[in-house]
Chains A and B, each alone.
Chain A
């Protein structure tokens, strides 16, 4: 009997619990109400900055890019971008929308300057074919990263970051009057022909290396002990100037930006202000302090790595022109130019400086002719001097043309300065004329 009742009550409670639909929500509003409320809040924050937003975008492949963005209440957005000097002067209008996805998302839904970074076409951004700079244009919005002064967003595809900070009326005015384009005049440093560029800031001479592909700038100076010190930072441009992501600290001096950038076409001079001091970029014929070890390191590195060699894809750069001697257009019967090489210690008492040809038919690379170069001489002031021993190869060495001209440059009696530009790359700059150099890569 009792047992039967137990069954009965069990069934009954089962029935009760199973049908208990009166879930108590821990929220006061439904999920939809909360999403709509959040979206409305984000919308009002975006359009609620009357002077727009300063934006920094960090693509996954590196670097940082700066934008100035204004959102309106009709899905329209107006942008300025520091991507390059060609677009910096003009604003571009496009569209955006907020969308309720797994997390609310901000989508820049027609092409804008922001999409230049994302574009999978490498001719647009020098990025990876099919991936671009791995930079997003659909961003998740997390409520704890949204304030009226700052919004931090995370990209939905590549997790690239975008940080918006509220702009001031003065910044808006500056952007709209072309300040960004003026500051991008600093980019003209790439058109100066000398390899070495310097600026004197508050009494200190700085050598400046500007790398727009990596978006980095390097300052080198001689410290109190007479040693060369280098500092590299990512940079980006705003209406205020060229900003260093990490400030340069040299003793009591800290430089975080170069502002009031000017360009004088007649004299090809870039001017700027750093720490209230005016300065200009000047071309130099020699490094601030030559690296006495770089040339030896370059030579020895190839010997130490299984007796291999250094490669240059396009020969000498002269007066602002890559491959000025057109070595890449040199051909041989059935073969085309592949690269120039410098092969230390290819022979017991000589090195080789020679073009390498690719034979399509046989799929082989061959040295058909080249220079036998004597062991380099290292001068006390940091130059490396090459001298001719003869020629090598199965074919006659040409008596004119790109390869002949290249060897003439190599054998210049003033020699070359060596600058190590990365773990596996060196630049070799003519000591006779700093507008002539060749870049070596270790494969």
Chain B
């Protein structure tokens, strides 16, 4: 410190000058290093999302889904909403959008709102639906039914093949496709959201323990699965899939339809050694546990919800 000041003093003139210079440079530096302002952000193209002139479909979605249920539907093409960017898809046909969404409202939203209330529904329902006109073809030759991300976003495929009563070219043979592709997907995903918020009782996992197939489910038929006490092949893949498949199928088939499935399990034992009686008992225990879960966790009368869902489905298929 001493030596330094000494030296400065020795070169007073220069130092002074330097300091002045330094000060002015600093001032310059400071001013030039100031954060530049962002400019006119409103000029950034596409900021705030894509826009287009709103039409009747946009208005219908806004009035019928967004205002009452806080649900947005992206029916216009946006590649980046789809998980697998390598797949070739096409957008939805406009003529399909309202018939599909109206049916979803009748078969999923209305029964839940009726029996569980608007507050419940708006709290737990997925908030965004993405529509693809075509199926998503996987490299193994299979197609994707529909996907859900974290309970917030649901992608529905093959929207252009959606057909229900009253639409041109509807045939009753379209029913099973439509039921599985659209309504089972939605009820399945919504049931996942419910158990992710309030877990089902641990005893549920014990009903069919030892019979779950994991990834091998793909080699089973629904009939194989039923002989082991599962409602569908996919429900053998894990406890949670079992739970939500049960809910989706019970709601869509109705009490009578579910009873018929249970009663149709043939005599004899499955390849895993499950008897007919054991398989039927397993499905009945699962049913009871789900009815109890809906009551205790959500204060919902499952059978009432089931009757309303099935009645709505009967109206369109």
Residues of A within 8 A of B (CB): 1, 8, 12, 15-16, 19-22, 30, 32-33, 35-36, 39, 74-76, 93-95, 97, 99-100, 107-111, 115, 118-121, 129-132, 134, 137-138, 157
Residues of B within 8 A of A (CB): 7, 11, 18, 22, 25, 28-29, 32-33, 36, 39-40, 43-46, 50, 52-53, 55, 75-79, 87-94, 96, 133-135, 137-139, 141, 160
A94 in contact with B77 (CB, 8 Å): no
Partner of B134, one of A74, A99, A120: A120
Q: A74-B53, A99-B50, A120-B135 are in contact. Are A111 and B93 (CB under 8 A)?
A: yes
Contacts of A32 in B (CB 8 A): 39-40, 43-45
| Interchain residue pairs with CB less than 8 A apart (14) | A12-B25, A95-B52, A95-B76, A95-B94, A110-B77, A111-B90, A111-B93, A115-B90, A115-B91, A120-B88, A121-B135, A129-B141, A132-B90, A137-B90
Interchain CA distance A15-B77 in the complex, whole Å = 49
- The residue of chain A having its C-beta at the shortest distance from the C-beta of B93 within the complex is A111
- Report the minimal beta-carbon distance from A28 to chain B, rounded to whole angstroms: 14
A36 in contact with B135 (CB, 8 Å): no
Q: A19-B33, A21-B36, A22-B32 are in contact. Are A111 and B45 (CB under 8 A)?
A: no
Contacts of B96 in A (CB 8 A): 111
Decide if the interface of chain B is mainly helix, strand, loop or mixed. Answer: loop
Q: A12-B22, A16-B29, A95-B52 are in contact. Are A129 and B137 (CB under 8 A)?
A: yes
Interchain CA distance A108-B79 in the complex, whole Å = 12
Known: A108-B77, A111-B94. 18 other contacts (CB 8 A): A12-B25, A15-B29, A32-B39, A33-B43, A74-B55, A95-B52, A97-B52, A109-B76, A109-B77, A109-B78, A109-B91, A111-B93, A115-B90, A115-B133, A119-B133, A120-B134, A130-B87, A130-B138
Interchain CA distance A33-B40 in the complex, whole Å = 9
- The residue of chain B having its C-beta at the shortest distance from the C-beta of A157 within the complex is B88
Partner of B29, one of A19, A33, A74: A19
Q: A22-B32, A110-B77 are in contact. Are A119 and B45 (CB under 8 A)?
A: no
Pairs A-B, 8 closest by C-beta atoms: A130-B137, A100-B45, A111-B93, A74-B53, A109-B77, A75-B52, A109-B76, A32-B43
Contacts of A138 in B (CB 8 A): 77, 79
B89 in contact with A36 (CB, 8 Å): no
A8 in contact with B92 (CB, 8 Å): no
Contacts of A129 in B (CB 8 A): 137, 141
B50 in contact with A97 (CB, 8 Å): yes
Partner of B76, one of A8, A19, A110, A131: A110
- Report the minimal beta-carbon distance from B175 to chain A, rounded to whole angstroms: 19
Contacts of B93 in A (CB 8 A): 94, 110-111
- Report the minimal beta-carbon distance from B41 to chain A, rounded to whole angstroms: 9
Among B33, B39, B45: residue with most chain A CB under 10 A: B45
B50 in contact with A16 (CB, 8 Å): no
Among A30, A95, A132, A134: residue with most chain B CB under 10 A: A95
Contacts of A15 in B (CB 8 A): 25, 29
Contacts of A100 in B (CB 8 A): 45-46
- The residue of chain B having its C-beta at the shortest distance from the C-beta of A132 within the complex is B88
Among A35, A36, A99: residue with most chain B CB under 10 A: A99
Partner of A97, one of B76, B88, B138, B139: B76
B46 in contact with A119 (CB, 8 Å): no
Partner of B45, one of A22, A36, A94: A36
A111 in contact with B137 (CB, 8 Å): no
Partner of A110, one of B25, B92, B137: B92
Partner of A20, one of B32, B76, B141, B160: B32
Interchain CA distance A76-B52 in the complex, whole Å = 9
Contacts of A95 in B (CB 8 A): 52, 55, 76, 94
Contacts of B11 in A (CB 8 A): 1
Q: A12-B25, A100-B46, A120-B89 are in contact. Are A107 and B134 (CB under 8 A)?
A: no
